[in-house]
């Protein structure tokens, strides 16, 4: 089956002094039925990329195909009819009711599902007669997703669907995205929440400074770190210090990293590595200030590749 989205050597430079190279040669293929995530820190170029794929922005150069068709020609209308878009911030008219809003969006499509059915997909039926102005942030986001679904799209774009939402609203939206994928639709979402990407996405592209720096399933990317468990610890500041590298040869330690005063060890088997770490600290007469163990995450993938955290400089 041909890819649902294909883009090759995508470049977008915003004019200005100096110009901003938001996307710098990005390649992607999204397969039918997968939930694909663009993951990266603020300013990585995710929104620019997704807006080009949605046909809202024109690339400076590069090739884009969506559902086997191209933007900017006679096929444009056909693409519009088969995609649904939920923008990073959807400005819905405060004066309309939920029902009026979804009916309006349904009118943009030649075919689709009943407005009430779309509201049901995001559990908003009981708010049908409420004005937009009375909805919570999470309810507005879910309505924006319902508007993206009412045309019964093959492909749904969700740009940072859960940014700014409380934990309960985030989980509700995660359920909506899972249902979409289980229903066979292709979903492309952007996020800077690594836990969101890990939970929802079949594959992710980690984007940094306008380029894909890692591509694969969240599990594969984490496994590629060589050790999917992490031991991290800080030493007492006023005592003797050790380098991260000095732990490299201990049993089960796959890689080491020093991150803002914390020694980070990626290990295969925590039960083998942890006693060896404790023995070394004791032998070197070094005192611990704090130690934690955890599962490696996509955040670790990003830190290992860039030396920075996903949320550096974020909101
Ligand atoms: N219209 C514009 N004019 C000039 N520069 C822009 C414009 N839109 C975005 N940029 C710049 O392009 C870069 C990429 O921005 P983009 O919004 O695509 O990143 P992002 O990964 O989506 O970030 P965020 O998570 O904050 O939305 C940033 O440096 C941003 O300041």
Best substitution site from 19, 20, 41 to test ligand 1's pocket, by max atoms within 8 Å of Cβ?
Answer: 20
Ligand 1 atom closest to Cα of residue 49: 18
Burial status of residue 260 (CB atoms within 10 A of its CB: 0-12, 13-18, 19 or more): exposed
Q: Residue 240 half-sphere exposure, CB side, CA atoms within 13 Å?
A: 7
Could you tell me the mean pLDDT of each successive run of 10 residues in the chain, 315 residues long? Answer: 93 95 96 95 92 96 96 92 89 91 95 94 93 91 93 94 84 90 93 90 95 94 86 89 92 88 90 93 93 92 81 47
Domain 226-295: CATH class, spelled out: alpha beta
Query: What is each CA distance from 308 to 26, 41, 260, 300, 303, in whole angstroms?
Result: 21, 10, 10, 10, 5
Identify the architecture of domain 5-217 in CATH: 3-Layer(aba) Sandwich (3.40)
CA dihedral 19, 73, 89, 44 (to 10 degrees): -40
Q: Say what the pLDDT of residue 315 is.
A: 35
Q: What is the pLDDT of residue 311?
A: 65
> 244: number of CA atoms within 13 Å, CB side?
17
Residue among 21, 22, 210 to mutate when testing ligand 1 (max atoms within 8 A of CB): 22
Neighbours of 75 (CB within 10 A): 15
The ligand 1 atom nearest the CA atom of 210: 14
Contact indicator for 63, 9 with CB cutoff of 8 Å? yes
Residues with CB under 6 A from ligand 1: 14, 16, 20, 22, 40, 42-48, 192
8 A C-beta contact, residue 188 and residue 38 = yes
The domain segmentation of the chain, as residue ranges, is 5-217, 226-295
Residues in contact with 106: Cβ distance below 8 Å, sequence separation at least 6, in sequence order? 112, 114, 115, 118, 150, 151
How far does residue 160's CA lie from ligand 1's centre (Å)?
13
Q: How many CB atoms lie within 10 A of CB 13?
A: 17
> What burial class does residue 268 get, using C-beta atoms within 10 Å of its C-beta: 0-12 exposed, 13-18 middle, 19+ buried?
middle
CA dihedral 176, 178, 184, 187 (to 10 degrees): 80
pLDDT at 96 (0 to 100)? 94
Angle at 196 between CA 33 and CA 55, to 5 degrees: 55
The reported pLDDT for the residue numbered 71 is 94
User: Which distant-in-sequence residues (6+ apart) come within 8 Å of 21 by Cβ?
Assistant: 11, 12, 13, 210
Q: How far apart are the first and last CA of the chain?
A: 40
């Amino acid at each position: 089956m041909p890819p649902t989205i294909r883009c090759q050597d995508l470049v977008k430079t915003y004019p200005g002094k100096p110009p901003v190279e938001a996307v710098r040669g990005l390649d992607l293929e999204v397969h039918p039925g997968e939930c694909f995530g663009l993951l990266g820190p603020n300013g990585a170029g995710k929104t620019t990329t997704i807006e080009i794929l949605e046909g809202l922005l024109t690339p400076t150069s590069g090739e884009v195909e969506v559902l086997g068709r191209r933007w900017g020609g006679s096929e444009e209308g056909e693409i519009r009819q088969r995609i649904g878009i939920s923008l990073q911030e959807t400005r819905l008219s405060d004066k309309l009711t939920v029902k009026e809003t979804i009916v309006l969006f349904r009118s943009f499509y030649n075919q689709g599902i009943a407005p009430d059915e779309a509201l049901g997909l995001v559990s908003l039926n009981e708010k049908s007669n409420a004005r937009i102005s009375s909805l919570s942030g999470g309810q507005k986001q879910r309505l924006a997703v319902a508007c993206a679904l009412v045309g019964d799209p093959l492909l749904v774009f969700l740009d940072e669907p859960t940014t700014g939402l409380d934990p309960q609203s985030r989980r509700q939206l995660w359920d909506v995205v899972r249902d979409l994928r289980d229903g066979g639709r292709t979903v492309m979402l952007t996020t800077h929440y690594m836990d969101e990407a890990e939970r929802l996405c079949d594959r992710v592209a980690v984007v940094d400074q306008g380029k894909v720096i890692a591509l694969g399933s969240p599990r594969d990317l984490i496994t590629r770190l060589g050790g999917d468990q992490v031991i991290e610890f800080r030493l007492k500041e006023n005592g003797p210090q050790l380098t991260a590298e000095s732990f490299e040869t201990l049993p089960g330690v796959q890689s080491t990293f020093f991150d803002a005063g914390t020694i980070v060890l990626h290990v295969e088997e925590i039960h083998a590595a942890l006693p060896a770490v404790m023995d070394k600290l004791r032998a070197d007469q070094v005192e611990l200030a704090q130690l934690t163990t955890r599962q490696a995450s996509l955040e670790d993938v990003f830190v290992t590749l860039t030396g920075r955290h996903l949320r550096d400089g974020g909101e």
